[in-house]
Amino acid sequence: MTEYLLKLAFEELGEKEIPGPLHNERVVQYAQDSGFEWINDDETPWCSVFVNWLAIKSGMQSSGSAMARSWLNVGLPVDRNPLPGDVVVFWRVRPNASTGHVGLFLGYSEDGRKIYCLGGNQKNSVSVEAYPVERLLGFRRLLPVGQLPLPDVVLRKGDQGMEVKLLQEFLKSIGYNCGVTDGKFGPITEKALVSFQVHNGLEEDGVYNEEVRNIMKNIHEEEALEY
């Protein structure tokens, strides 16, 4: 699905704002199709609007917000080795401001000092631009809508990788603090998992297995129904 996300974005290259009182109907459509009905011009900042449009059209998770930094809470964090199509978020004005910019990661410059980004509202258009790496806030990897955000393999202390990140993110989403989502199953993640096992009447061995997954799946489905 990430491939389709990128394909869709490249097909929009060149769409740009129209100076003056007229507006590019395609740019306005990005907002309307994404649920931002209050946006009816091409002048309102639309980088997050464009990524929302791409995500919705691709069946991926979306932020539902016109704020660029909203994407820091969507999908899975990617601490290293981002892939083309991952969402990339930059700060704008200053690191602790509410403003930012979001687009799709394409790659690094040869010297590693810049990040190439395909996005909307870049020089008032859908384009590819390079941003200083020091402005990076984070990379996120989107999941398909409806995909259960749980690993389907057994995990225990010492394991590493994306599956561990899924577990860490889910534990935090239901109130079990396992620290930074770093993909490393260490003592903090183990402690959080044991707490979950205690509260759900499971064997307190700190191992993520099918029994743990089934309980977590039930919790996820109940939350989805409540939503």
Q: Domains in the chain, start-ordered, CATH in brackets? A: 2-141 (3.90.1720.10), 162-226 (1.10.101.10)
Phi, psi of 23 (to 5 degrees): -135, 145
Q: What is the pLDDT of residues 84-103, one digit of tens each?
A: 999 999 999 999 999 999 99
Dist. CA 66–CA 89, nearest whole Å: 13
**CA distance linking residue 162 with residue 46, whole number of Å:** 31
How many Cα neighbours within 13 Å face the side chain of 33? 17
pLDDT reported for residue 27: 98
For 206, the 3-state DSSP assignment is coil
Q: What percent of the chain has pLDDT over 90?
A: 76
Section 185-197 average pLDDT = 97
Structure tokens at 171: 């534990």
Average per-residue pLDDT for the chain: 93
177 phi, psi to nearest 5 deg: -75, 115
Residue 146: phi and psi, rounded to 5, are: 90, -10
Encoded tokens for 1: 């699905």
| Predicted local distance difference test score (pLDDT) of residue 2 | 76
Band the pLDDT of 223: cuts 50, 70, 90: low
pLDDT, residue 31, reads 98
Query: Which pTM value belongs to this model?
Result: 0.76
Helix (H, G, I), strand (E, B) or coil at 152: coil
Structure token digits, residue 129: 């631009």
Mean pLDDT value of segment 29-40: 97
Question: How does DSSP assign 70-99, residue by residue?
Answer: GGGGSSEEE-S---TT-EEEEE-SSTTSS-
CA nearest to 149, candidates 167, 176, 172: 167
User: Residue 44 has which token pair?
Assistant: 């309102």
Confidence of residue 149 (pLDDT cuts 50, 70, 90): confident
Query: With bands split at pLDDT 50, 70 and 90, how would you rate the model's confidence at 169?
Result: confident
Contact 109, 116 (CB under 8 A): yes
Q: Looking at residue 101, what is its pLDDT? A: 98
CA distance 62 to 193: 28
Residue with the bigger pLDDT between 199 and 221: it is 199
Which one-letter amino acid corresponds to residue 161? G
pLDDT at 227: 41
Contact 25, 41 (CB under 8 A): no
pLDDT the model gives residue 179: 87
Residue 216: CA count within 13 A, CB half-sphere? 25
Cα–Cα distance list, 156 to 164, 167, 214 (Å): 9, 11, 17
